[in-house]
Structures are given as structure tokens and as C-alpha cells.
Amino acid sequence: MAMCGCTHLEEFLRYLKVERQMSPHTVRNYRVDLTQFLEFYQERRAEARLAEVTYQDLRAFLATALKHLRKTTVARKLSALRTFFKYLQRLGVLTQNPAKLAPSPKLEKVLPHFLSVDEAFHLLGEPQGDDFGTCRDKAILEVFYGGGLRLSELAGLNLGDLDLGPGVLRVWGKGAKERLAFLGEPAKAALTAYLPLRQRMMQQQGTGDETALFLNSRGWRLSTRGVARLVAKWVRQSGLSQGLTPHGLRHSFATHLLEGQADLRAVQELLGHASISSTQRYLHLNLDYLMEEYDKAHPRSK
């Protein structure tokens, strides 16, 4: 017997990819989460149609998921179901959205790991050498910290997205939204050292990806996994916390801008956040700094 709602699921995934322009990774997550629910629903109510799904069905699915999955994963599944049911409402398959009433699991507030300014400078100074790999890695670290890019955004950069003179990058963010990222002199210098080596390596290989900005040793686009591995390598080599990820460099970028008194709206634009609330969480990252600023500036702090 075919899985209940299978046709609607495929149409929905096509809608996410074509109309919402979501990344293949996000569409894969939707497929996994929604397939799990549809299989659960079919086992629970074998003869029921998708149009008959209720809040009770959803609650039973989430309760089962919470037994063996992290709350963040369950929250993601609930978000996927809300979007799917909203889509089915528009098609007229459902009269109401059963996921609208479901409360999201209460998530533990985990402060993301980020670097102090001194630690960031220490990490960026770690790659020393003039070979292809070292120069590429230094350029990647500088672009992460200088531009505040997401991992997928950096791996997706093309040579044509870079305007090295003024130090501007055209970045394609979530939902295929375009924004500009700006690079300081150290990032521009690192890219200036890397680009001729990239060109020489492409000529030596005789094949590869001419469009990609950052390449692996065989001349093809460096994958997100490859980028994450090289960041982990330099973090390990620098003696900094092993918990720092590429996203930690983006957190550091945002935190240091706000500590430098950058306007919150400007930081929102630079990060490519759709909502200001996403940017506001960076404000509470460095409590010691905020308390120090309060003590210095507020007339009633003493």
C-alpha cells in the first residue's frame, strides 16, 4: 500500500525547491521529517486519509519523537509539519492546520561558542606558508571572520562573486537571497595571495571547477564538509577551544561588530538575517562586556 499523502509530499517538496528556492539540504530535512510523520500516521490510523489528520495525531507523533530525539530536532520536525499543513490548507486538502495549536518544545538556551578579539587574531595568524593549501585556508578563515558568512555561503562562492578591489563579495544566503559582504585589508591580502596559486593549480590539473572560488587539491569546489574540516584543523593547531566551528567565526564576527558599537540594523543586513530578532540574541553573548559598558556609561551605575 502506498504511503498516505505521498503525492502531496512530492508536490510540496517541489514547491519548496522551485518557488521557495530552499537549499537541497533543507529540502532533504523536510523530506525526512515529513516522511517519518506520514509513516507514523499510517501505522496509527491505517484507513484514514491525510485530510482527517488531527492535533491528537500530531501530539502522539511528537511525544514519540521526544523520547529519543533532542528537543531542537523535534522543534524542527514540528516546524516542517506546520509549513506542510499550511500548504495543504491552501490546496483545500485540510480545512485547518492541526500543527498551529502545538507548542514548540522548550529549548535549552545554549550560548554559541565564539572567540574574543585576541583569540580571533591568534587563529587568523596561525596559517603560515606560501603553498596552495595554506594560502587557501588563510583566505577562508579571513573571509569567514571578515565577512560573517555561513558555511554553505562560503562553500558556494564563485570567482565571479568577488570584487577584490573594493573588497566586496556577492553572497547567496537562505532562500536564495542576495546580499553583499565586505572584506577588510587582511582578507583582501589573503585572497590576493591565494588567487594566483588557484590559477596555477587549475592549469596543472587541466580539469576542475573554473567557477568555484575555493577549490580542493584536485581542482574541484571545496565541499562544506571539507571547509569545516580545515577550520577544525587550524582551531586544533592554534590550541583554541575544540568546540569552535565555522559558525563560531560568524558568531565572533557579529559579536565583535556589536561590541564595537555597530548599529543592530546594519549587523542584521551584514548577517543576512530576515528578522531583527535573530540578530538581537548576539546582544547578550558577552555579559561581562555589557556590564563593563554599563558601569562606565550609566550615571546611576556607581
Average pLDDT over all residues of the chain: 83
Domain tally for the chain? Answer: 2
46 lies in the same domain as 141 = no
60 lies in the same domain as 183 = no
Please say if the pLDDT value at position 276 is more than 90. no
Please, which residues bridge with residue 162 across strands? 169
Q: Is 25 a catalytic residue?
A: no
Candidates 8, 138, 221, 250; catalytic one: 250
60 lies in the same domain as 182 = no
Please say if the pLDDT value at position 2 is more than 50. no
The CATH number of residue 69's host domain is 1.10.150.130
Contact 252, 180 (CB under 8 A): no
Q: Which residue has the cell 580542493?
A: 216
Q: Which stretch of DSSP H or E encloses residue 134?
A: helix 132-147
Instruction: Write the pLDDT tens digit of every residue in 21-56.
Output: 887 888 899 999 999 999 999 888 877 788 888 888
Q: Is 20 a catalytic residue?
A: no
Structural domain contains residue 147: yes
Instruction: Write the pLDDT tens digit of every residue in 124-145.
Output: 999 999 999 999 999 999 999 8
- At 292, list the grid cell: 563593563
Over residues 96-117, the mean pLDDT reads 70
- At 287, list the grid cell: 555579559
φ/ψ of 169, rounded to 5, equals -115, 135
Percent pLDDT > 90 in the chain is 31
Candidates 150, 198, 251, 256; catalytic one: 150
152 lies in the same domain as 284 = yes
Q: Is 150 a catalytic residue?
A: yes
Candidates 17, 31, 113, 247; catalytic one: 247
Structural domain contains residue 243: yes
Residue-level pLDDT at 294: 62
Domain holding 17, by residue range, is: 6-91
**Bridge pairing between strands 178-182 and 168-172:** antiparallel
- At 83, list the grid cell: 509549513
- At 105, list the grid cell: 518544545
Q: Is 296 a catalytic residue?
A: no
179 lies in the same domain as 270 = yes
Structural domain contains residue 209: yes
Residue-level pLDDT at 251: 83
| pTM check: above 0.85 | no
54 lies in the same domain as 129 = no
181 lies in the same domain as 53 = no
162 lies in the same domain as 21 = no
Contact 201, 132 (CB under 8 A): yes
Instruction: Write the pLDDT tens digit of every residue in 144-179.
Output: 988 889 899 999 999 999 999 988 989 887 766 788
Q: Determine the Cα–Cα distance for residues 302 and 300; give it in Å rounded to an integer.
A: 6
